[in-house]
Amino acid sequence: MKFLEYKAKSIFARYGIPVPHGVVVARPEEIRNAPLPCMVKAQVLIGGRGKAGGIKPAETLDEARAVSREILGMDINGYKVKQVYLEERLDIERELYLSFTIDRSAREPLLMASATGGVEIESLPHEQIFMEHVPALIGLQPYVLRMLGKFLGLQGLVAEQVADVTQKAYELFRKEDAELVEINPLVVTKAGKVVAGDAKLVVDDNAEYRHLEYAKLDQDRTALEEEAHEKGITFIQLDGDIGVIANGAGLTMSTLDVLNLKGGKGGTFLDLGGTDDPEKVAQAFELLIKANPAVILLNIFGGITKADTVALGVKKALEVMHADVPVVARIKGVNEAQAKEILRGVGMYPAETMEEAAELAVKVKKGAA
């Protein structure tokens, strides 16, 4: 789950991390007050909005309305701006970088910081980045914060505030099941205050059940992806025209790859998972048909999954949807022969192997089969 800046900042504030004052609006007419002078910031779930013209200053309320009008509806790297955040302008003395992520190889949370904030962390030379693993079972110890302060060249009250923000960001990272907590820049104002200039927060989707208040948040999903999410189906829309459905994430990815090698292009990633429940299969097919593919390529390797039950689900979905989209199906598993019989009965194209199925799907699409 990704969070827009204003939403992330409200969560940061809950943990006691200082954030600037601001108001969020969806339409310029909604602007009745703003912390002037302010920055008008596009709220999108993607980076690079500054460069794309999504962050602009305003001195007066009228100007804030005019700038908001410009930014709202803007397309930023493929994301439409639906909201702007009018935020208090900070008197910047210096900008730092601070983040918590996980290091998969070390299997531990990773604290990263730099005295150079406001730029992409990847663009910084290694020696300018402070990196320290934090064992999840132990937590963030004070010595790490002392090392951090020294590395960043901080002293006195500023060092204390940065240490405090770091400790709170770690607490947030753990308690909110975050994949990423990033403050870039972490601003030190001319008055010596430490404030989160920006806020990035990504929360583990698997932890949704512990944070039900986030379930309703607008994610960067298409309408169909949203429908799939609500039904608990793993479904991603891609830009090809062959609807791919398989069981298991690895096999679904691999089916897309094989299709590509055979000259086709996948339009969906639909992972049926371990189910052979005809109802679930039918639901998945309904989604697939709504995505309007030229051909559907079904690839099931069911060791335990019953092939005929899957086939029945497919049949049912096609009937219910009155769909005449051709289906190329490869189903391996228990009761394979019966499955083929069912599929042939409704005019589908059965295939033996994954490669054969991919080839056939490309042929059918070209009208050559």
Contact 82, 72 (CB under 8 A): yes
Q: Quick check: is 15 catalytic?
A: no
Phi, psi (rounded to 5 degrees) for 233 = -110, 135
Task: Choose which of 119, 136, 157, 215 interacts with other proteins (CB under 8 A).
Answer: 136
What part of residues 267-296 is at the interface with other proteins (CB under 8 A)?
269, 271
**Active-site hit among 6, 85, 87, 97:** 97
Binding-site string for other proteins from residue 158 to residue 197, where x marks contact by CB under 8 A and - marks none: ----------------x--x-x------------------
Residue 57 CB, shortest distance to other proteins, in Å, is 29
What part of residues 329-368 is at the interface with other proteins (CB under 8 A)?
332, 353-355
Vertex 319: Cα angle to 316 and 322 (nearest 5)? 145
Helices (H), 204-261: 223-231, 249-261
Q: Quick check: is 214 catalytic?
A: no
Contact 84, 24 (CB under 8 A): yes
Contact 272, 232 (CB under 8 A): no
Phi, psi (rounded to 5 degrees) for 263 = 95, 10
| DSSP secondary structure, 1-47, as one string | -B--HHHHHHHHHHTT-----EEEESSGGG-S---SSEEEEEE-SSS
Residue 336 CB, shortest distance to other proteins, in Å, is 12
What part of residues 3-62 is at the interface with other proteins (CB under 8 A)?
none
Under rule CB under 8 A, residue 125 binds other proteins = no
State the CB neighbour count (10 A cutoff) for residue 368: 8
Task: Choose which of 27, 107, 344, 366 interacts with other proteins (CB under 8 A).
Answer: 107
Q: Which residues lie near other proteins (CB under 8 A)?
A: 102, 104-105, 107-109, 122, 135-137, 174, 177, 179, 204-207, 209-210, 234, 236, 238, 246-254, 256-258, 260-261, 266, 269, 271, 301-304, 332, 353-355
Q: Active-site residues: which are they?
A: 97, 182
